[in-house]
């Protein structure tokens, strides 16, 4: 199917777009072809379609211009196919608070519209996502084990957040394609070392693993090929804060080097550094950068959730 037809299916099934609703497409110069397809799809569904295009942001987590943020708050539905992520920005948070249904699509590709995570049965994805979210919300600690490395996180008092790819009610928001459950660990409560061997924001799919060392919630060291390109993470304590633990729940997602799909894949967990104010954290940084861990073992409290990447719940 052409992009516009796929867009119509997405707008209907995932966002429940109705005729007459104000549907705002927020895009940038790198993703304007996808933005245009979604704009035309919204028009054909009878929506009041609008599109705003901006210069690509420098890093994921950077705020869009004020005019874009204001338009997002006024819309019924916001879809954001962009080269970087605005998922964890104040603009997205305020739009959802105002009642908009928001789907962010950082670094979406035309291939991802027709294959991989977008092809999943999202009712199945939603069921597992909600189950894992409940386990995260109940847990006080998380422990990831891989290749002799152990990374622990304090989750006390923090709620799990579902991103099932279904945003049909006012104020619901998340990624598309989607399928993950995630949480903001306490900002000073993560310790240990871990291997990141799937992909990393800023680097794409990894040919060789990175190794991170975290103390009291802050990244102390990151080593491995091209790790010098991730200097923004060590620029200040806010950027260095381990801000997220996520678990992929979409059986159709692939690890391709594009974090939007990678972090949704079965057999993976991910950690991120930077901003987490959008999901019950307290850290506002200059970035939000995720790293994918392939086939880990994961415990929530003392309950085994993943064994070498396989769900055991």
The torsion region of residue 230 among left (phi > 0), alpha (psi -120 to 50) and beta comes to: alpha
| 229: its two tokens | 């390109």
User: Rounded distance, CA 45 to CA 5, Å?
Assistant: 11
- Among 16-25, 59-68, 96-105, the least confident range: 59-68
Exposed, middle or buried: residue 223 (CB in 10 Å: 0-12, 13-18, 19+)?
A: exposed
pLDDT in tens, 140-180: 999 999 999 999 999 999 999 998 999 999 999 988 989 99
pLDDT greater than 70 at residue 219: yes
Q: Specify the residue for token string 């993703």.
A: 31
Q: How far is CA 234 from CA 185, 210, 286, in A?
A: 19, 15, 11
Mean pLDDT of the chain: 95
Q: Are 17 and 77 in contact (CB under 8 A)?
A: yes
Q: Where are the domains of the chain?
A: 3-114, 118-311
**Percent of the chain at pLDDT exceeding 70:** 100
pLDDT of residue 309: 97
User: Rounded distance, CA 296 to CA 151, Å?
Assistant: 11
Q: How confident is the model at residue 1 (pLDDT cuts 50, 70, 90)?
A: low
Model pTM score: 0.81
Neighbour tally for 166: CB within 10 Å: 21
**Percent of the chain at pLDDT exceeding 90:** 84
pLDDT of residue 105: 93
CATH of domain 3-114: 3.40.1830.10
Q: Is the peptide bond before 177 cis (omega within 30 degrees of 0)?
A: yes
First to last CA, the chain: 37
- Where are the strands (E) in the chain, listed by range? 22-28, 48-54, 77-82, 101-106, 141-146, 149-154, 161-163, 173-175, 180-183, 190-196, 199-200, 204-205, 210-215, 218-223, 242-248, 268-274, 288-294, 297-300, 303-307, 310-311
pLDDT greater than 90 at residue 71: yes
pLDDT of residue 25: 98
pLDDT in tens, 85-130: 898 899 999 999 999 999 999 889 888 877 888 888 888 999 999 9
Longest dimension (CA), the chain: 56
pLDDT of residue 9: 86
Query: What single string gives the DSSP state of each residue in 34-100?
Result: HHHHHHHHHHHTT-EEEEEEEPPPSSTTPPPPHHHHHHHHH-SEEEEEESS--TTSHHHHHHHHTT-
Q: How confident is the model at residue 278 (pLDDT cuts 50, 70, 90)?
A: confident
Q: What is the mean pLDDT of residues 291-308?
A: 97
Beta-ladder partners of 104: 80, 175
């Amino acid at each position: 199917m052409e992009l516009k037809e796929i867009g119509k299916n997405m707008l209907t099934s995932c966002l429940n777009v109705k005729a007459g609703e104000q549907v705002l497409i927020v895009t940038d110069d790198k993703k304007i072809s996808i933005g245009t397809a979604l704009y035309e799809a919204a028009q054909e569904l009878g929506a009041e379609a609008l599109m705003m295009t901006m210069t690509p942001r420098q890093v994921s987590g950077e705020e869009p211009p004020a005019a874009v943020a204001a338009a997002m708050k006024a819309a019924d539905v916001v879809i954001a196919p962009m080269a970087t992520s605005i998922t964890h920005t104040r603009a997205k948070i305020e739009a959802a608070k105002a009642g908009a249904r928001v789907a962010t699509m950082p670094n979406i590709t035309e291939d991802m519209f027709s294959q991989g995570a977008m092809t999943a049965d999202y009712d199945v994805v939603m069921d597992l996502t909600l189950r894992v979210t409940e386990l995260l919300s109940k847990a006080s600690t998380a422990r990831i084990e891989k290749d002799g490395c152990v990374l622990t996180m304090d989750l006390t008092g923090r709620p799990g957040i579902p991103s099932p790819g279904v945003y049909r009610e006012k104020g619901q928001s998340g990624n598309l394609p989607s399928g993950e459950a995630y949480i903001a660990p306490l900002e000073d409560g993560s310790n240990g070392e871990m291997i990141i061997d799937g992909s990393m924001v800023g680097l794409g799919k990894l040919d060789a693993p990175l190794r991170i060392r975290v103390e009291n919630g802050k990244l102390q060291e990151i080593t491995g090929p091209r790790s010098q390109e991730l200097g923004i993470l060590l620029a200040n304590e806010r950027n260095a804060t381990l801000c997220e633990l996520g678990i992929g729940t979409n059986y159709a997602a692939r690890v391709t080097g594009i974090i939007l799909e990678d972090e949704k894949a079965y057999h993976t967990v991910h950690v991120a550094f930077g901003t987490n104010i959008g999901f019950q954290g307290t850290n506002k940084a200059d970035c939000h950068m995720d790293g994918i861990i392939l086939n880990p073992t994961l415990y929530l409290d003392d309950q085994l959730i993943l064994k070498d990447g396989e769900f055991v719940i």
